[in-house]
Chain A
Amino acid sequence: MFRRVLGKTLGFVGYTVQYGCIAHCAFEYIGEFVVCSGPSMEPTIVNHDIVFSERMSRHLCKIEKGDIVIAKSPFDPNMNICKRVIGLEGDKVCTSAPSDVFKSHTYVPKGHVWLEGDNLRNSTDSRSYGPIPYALIRGRVCLKSSMAILSTIQRCESVGSSKQVCLIDQSLDNILSSSPFCCVVMSLDVIATTTLETALASA
């Protein structure tokens, strides 16, 4: 009787360990779901959005300019930040505010990246703490789920000193909002782009 209970318990523990290890491998090497909070990436990612960040491009060092990445916070290693990569190593980035008369530039040092949030007025990013090492990046955001639609995050190019933000087509939201967790086809092109005006209200 006791031996049977012990056998069952050991079997249960073994299964738990095995599935825990499989889960760890999946979260570490494939991807994980992240809940984003804060207004620094509006309008691309709003407060309480769930995003899926994949890890393979970080392990293969394939993060590119314009990607949205999840990185460890440079202040607190237990917190994560979600920002967009503006410059890779060797790139020239503009560090002055748009309202300044004299523009200042810096070069991103080797092994570092320059991150900025899409909501420039309300974002603590590399403009305050400087470029962060590439090793702090955890993963690249590729899918976003808000309300009832799962949409893909498109990489966008920055043009000169003004930034362009990619918006998922708003009309599609109306069509697909009736069916929850509907996956938008990967071939969705950048439907609407708009320059980020300073009229974005700070939250």
Chain B
Amino acid sequence: MAQQASAGRRYLRAFVSGFFVAVPVTVTVLDRFAYVARVEGASMQPFLNPEGGSECDVVLLNRWSVRNYQVQRGDIVSVMSPRNPQQKIIKRVIGLEGDFIRTLGYKNRYVRIPDGHFWIEGDHHGHSLDSNSFGPVRPSSQTPLQHLPLFQNIKISLTLRLSLHQK
């Protein structure tokens, strides 16, 4: 009887100590290093979700590479929507600060991107809520800023797409 109680207590202690190791480490890794997310919607077709509808791409987001908020033109980034702080949107960086760009449907036809901002657009023009609607975004508004280097993106999404087809 006493042995069962001590065994139970040992299991409980092992569980608690494991819990306090596993959960913080997992949360830290997901916050600081890498994050897996599913892409919904058609705003990045044909690159992401080319079929649309039933099968959604899964992407790997690299958080470590954007810890200093440095992005390049052509990167695909995931930002918090300025319209809805609980929604994350995935778009491509078109222009950095100081660039002159021509917009599609924005209030000004030509825009010089202000300092400290950049311009994001979805690949599928017309079906995308991006800077053409809400203007240039600040790097700090992507809190946390998530970055998909293109090769990682392709790797993950292709792998998962293939496995789904084989079934």
Contacts and interface: CB of A to CB of B under 8 A. Distances in A.
B143 interface: yes
Majority SS of interface residues in chain A? Answer: mixed
Contact of A72 (B68, B81, B143): B143
Contact of A24 (B21, B32, B81, B115): B32
A75 B114 CA distance: 10
B3 interface: no
Interface string B11-38: 0000000001101110110011000000
A61 B20 CA distance: 27
B141 interface: yes
A21 B141 contact: no
A127 interface: no
A136 B21 CA distance: 30
Contact of B141 (A25, A110, A133): A133
Contact of B143 (A24, A25, A110, A135): A135
Interface in A1-56: 17-18, 20-22, 24-25, 28
B41 interface: no
A76 interface: yes
A111 B85 contact: yes
Contact of A133 (B23, B27, B32, B85): B85
Given A18-B21, A25-B24, A72 B82 contact: no
Contacts of A21: 24-25, 27-28
A174 to B, nearest CB: 41
Given A22-B20, A111-B81, A111-B83, A77 B138 contact: yes
A135 B82 contact: yes
A67 to B, nearest CB: 15
Given A73-B140, A77-B140, A135 B85 contact: yes
A74 B97 CA distance: 14
Interface size class of B (residues with CB under 8 A): 20 to 34
Contacts of A138: 143
Contacts of A74: 116, 138, 140
B86 interface: yes
Given A18-B21, A24-B32, A136 B83 contact: no
B6 interface: no
Interface in A58-106: 61, 72-78
Contacts of A136: 138, 140-141, 143
B48 interface: no
29 contacts: A18-B20, A20-B28, A21-B24, A21-B25, A24-B24, A24-B28, A24-B31, A25-B23, A25-B27, A61-B85, A61-B86, A75-B116, A76-B140, A77-B69, A77-B138, A78-B68, A78-B69, A110-B84, A111-B81, A111-B82, A111-B85, A133-B141, A135-B82, A135-B85, A135-B141, A135-B142, A136-B138, A136-B143, A138-B143
